[in-house]
Amino acid sequence: MKTDQTASTAIFRAKQVYEQVADTIREGIESGSFAMGSRLPSERELALRFGVSRPAVREAIGALQNEGMVITRHGSGTYVRVAPVESDDEATQSPRVADFSPVSTLEVRMLIEPAIARLAARHKKRDPLAEQYLNRMAEVIDIEDPAQQELWSECDRLFHRQLAFMTQDALIVKIADEISKSMDQPLWQRLRDDGIYDPQRIQLYVAEHRLIYEAIVSGDADAAAFYVEGHLKRVRRDIAPLDSTPRS
C-alpha cells in the first residue's frame, strides 16, 4: 500500500552562523537581557561570548539593523532601539528566506570573478555599459545621500555583472546573475554601505574598478585577475574585517 505523500510537510534548512547569532541576540532583547536603549557589547565581546567569528557577529547585527531592532552609531556602538520598528514580515506573518552571508558571497566571488576577468580579457573589447556604470559611480560624491547611495549600489553590482557579459559565455553570465542577486540583498547592502561610508573610499573603489576594466580591454588577463582579487580583498576588509580593532 502506497503512503499518501500529498500532505504538506515542514521544510528544514540549516541556519547560517550569522542567523543563529542574530536569533540569540534577538532573544536577549526580547527577554530583557539586552535592555531597550542599552549598548550591545562590542563585536569582539559578542564573538567571544558566542564562540563565533567577528564577521558572523557583524552580519548578525546587520540583519538586526534591517529588522529595526538595533541601531549602530559610528564612533559609539550598537544600541537596542527603544521602540523596535515592526518589519513587513512581522506585519504580514509571512516567513522570509534569510539573505546569504555576505562573507560567503565574497568567498564565492573570490573563486569566480578573477576567472571571469581572465576570460573577458581574451576578447579585448570595450563595453559601453561597463563604461557607463564606471562613469556613474565616479559621479557619487555624498555617499550618505540615500539617492547617491542607491546609485552607487546599483552601478557597483551591475558593473561586476557586466564583466561576465564581456566573456561572451552564457553559462558564466548565468552564474554571475546569481552572484548579482546576492549583492542586491538587504544584508549585503547594509554591510557594504556601513563599510564604505566616506567619499575617499568610494573614489578608491572607482579607481580599482577602472584598473580591472582597462586590464580586460587591453587583453592583460593576469593583471585583470590580479586587480579583481585585490579589489575583493579590500571589500572583504571593509565590510567584515577580521582584525581586533573595535568597530567604530
Could you count the other beta carbons within 10 Å of the beta carbon of residue 203? 14
Rg (CA), the chain: 20
Distance CA 243, CA 225 (A): 26
Q: What's the mean per-residue pLDDT of the chain? A: 87
Percent of the chain exceeding pLDDT 90 equals: 68
Give 165-203 pLDDT, tens digit per residue. 999 999 999 999 999 999 999 999 889 888 877 778 888
Do 102-239 and 17-92 have the same topology in CATH? Answer: no
Chain-centre distance for alpha carbon 239:
8
What are the residue ranges spanned by the domains of the chain?
17-92, 102-239
DSSP 23-64: HHHHHHHHHTSS-TTPBPPPHHHHHHHHT--HHHHHHHHHHH
**Among 9-23, 129-143, 208-222, 224-238, which is the least confidently predicted range?**
9-23
* Residue range 17-92 in CATH 1.10.390.10: no
Higher pLDDT, 216 or 140: 216
Q: Which residue is it, cell 558566542?
A: 50
Residue 113 sits at φ, ψ, to 5 deg, of -70, -35
Which of 1-15, 156-170, 214-228 has the lowest average pLDDT?
A: 1-15
Residue 92 pLDDT: 44
Mean pLDDT within 113-119: 98
Contacts of residue 183, Cβ cutoff 8 Å, sequence gap at least 6: 105, 156, 157, 160, 189
Q: Is 77 exposed, middle or buried, given 0-12, 13-18 or 19+ CB atoms closer than 10 A?
A: middle
Give the model's pLDDT for residue 6: 46
At 2 the pLDDT is 46
pLDDT tens-digit readout, 56-90: 999 999 999 999 999 988 778 999 998 755 555 54
The helix (run of H) or strand (run of E) holding residue 72 is strand 70-73
| Beta carbons of 159 and 133 less than 8 angstroms apart | yes
Superfamily (CATH) of domain 102-239: GntR ligand-binding domain-like (1.20.120.530)
For the segment 203-230, the average pLDDT, to the nearest whole number, is: 97
